[in-house]
Amino acid sequence: MQMKRLILTLAAATLLGSGAASGADAYPTQPIRVIVPWPAGGLVDILGRTVGEQMRATLGQPVIVENKTGAGGMIGADAVANAAPDGYTLALTTTALNMNAALRPETTPGAAAQFAPVAVAAFAPSILTVNPAVPAASVKELIAYAEANPGKLSYASAGNGSPAHLQGEMLKAMAGVDLLHVPYKGAPPAIQDQIAGRVQVQFANAAVALPQIKAGKLRPLAVSSARRWETMPELPTMDEAGVPGFEASQWLGYLAPRGTPAGIVAKLNAAIAKAVAEPAVRAALARSGMDAATPGDPASFARYLESELEKWQRVVKQAGIRVN
């Protein structure tokens, strides 16, 4: 009798396993919804629509981008976290997800803990910019001026807990300078006040800053990424410019609900990797201030997300940042 039960159990397990495999093999059989927790027309939205069209060609199903904004990207992220783990609802989000986790550890788990990581698709560097009235043509000159004039310089951000806020705190900690943080309600008013000289410094989104740099309204000093930005290769990285080890690009990547079958995650990962390898996609992303990524496998993306969370946890702790 026990042997019979064992045989039946093994047979059932085999059937379940083959069913899961066949489900992944058949996937997708309906449209895939990609929730972007940021407004239409922004970097993440552009990435989602550009890559989505290529994914449709590979997977044979429409990839529909839905903008679900609010709460610093958390409303859209939560919608995906609570969706069915069937591969038909994905989040396309950014570094802000891990920054929220670093700022609110009691209520917000990190991206790798909350989701099934699928693939990183792009990186978006920020540009350390100054108002032209600031007597600094390099990062070293900016640091020297800040040291000689403690409390005189202020830096803008799109709000408390935003990437520009944490990047600014990272600079303060690593360079040992005194800068006053001035948070705004979004990037446009922050840029406008920097141009007007009400604030002097900002880690500005590359795509937003570039027109102002070309117009001579802002002076670029360095990019926040680990390597030079393809669009402005003459601009040094922060590491090259005198702040060793500084790296603070935004990642943009796809996440699925926890529990999504590994076979489906792998199929999505392959479709995203194929999309961002297309020269036309890479060119479109570059025009919008992004560098296409080499995605790697889902496990490598998960490890990267964990390391990013640890980095921002250190920044938040060292700076003593508190948010409501």
What dihedral do alpha carbons 36, 40, 45, 48 form, nearest 10°? 80
Exposed (0-12), middle (13-18) or buried (19+): which is 12, by Cβ within 10 Å? exposed
Domain extents for the chain?
31-124+249-319, 126-241
What's residue 14's pLDDT? 44
Residue 15 backbone dihedrals phi, psi, to 5 degrees: -65, -40
Same fold, 31-124+249-319 and 126-241: yes
DSSP collapsed to 3 states, 67-117: ECCCHHHHHHHHHHHCCCCCCCEEEEEECHHHHHHHHCCCCCCCHHHHEEE
- 8 A C-beta contact, residue 115 and residue 80: yes
User: In whole angstroms, how far apart are CA 209 and each of 163, 206, 220?
Assistant: 15, 5, 9
What's residue 77's pLDDT? 92
- The fourth-level CATH superfamily of domain 31-124+249-319 is Bordetella uptake gene, domain 1 (3.40.190.150)
Task: DSSP letter for 289, please.
Answer: T
Block residue for tokens 């790296």: 247
- The fourth-level CATH superfamily of domain 126-241 is Periplasmic binding protein-like II (3.40.190.10)
For residue 130, the cross-strand partners are: 201, 219
pLDDT in tens, the chain (324 residues): 433 443 343 344 444 444 444 467 899 999 999 999 988 888 899 999 999 999 999 999 999 999 998 877 889 999 999 999 999 999 999 998 999 899 988 888 888 889 999 999 999 999 999 999 999 999 999 999 999 998 899 999 988 888 899 999 999 999 999 999 999 888 889 999 999 999 999 999 888 888 999 999 999 999 999 999 888 999 999 999 999 999 998 999 999 999 999 999 999 999 999 999 999 999 999 888 899 999 999 999 999 999 999 999 999 998 888 776
What's residue 1's pLDDT? 42
What's residue 152's pLDDT? 92
What's residue 5's pLDDT? 41
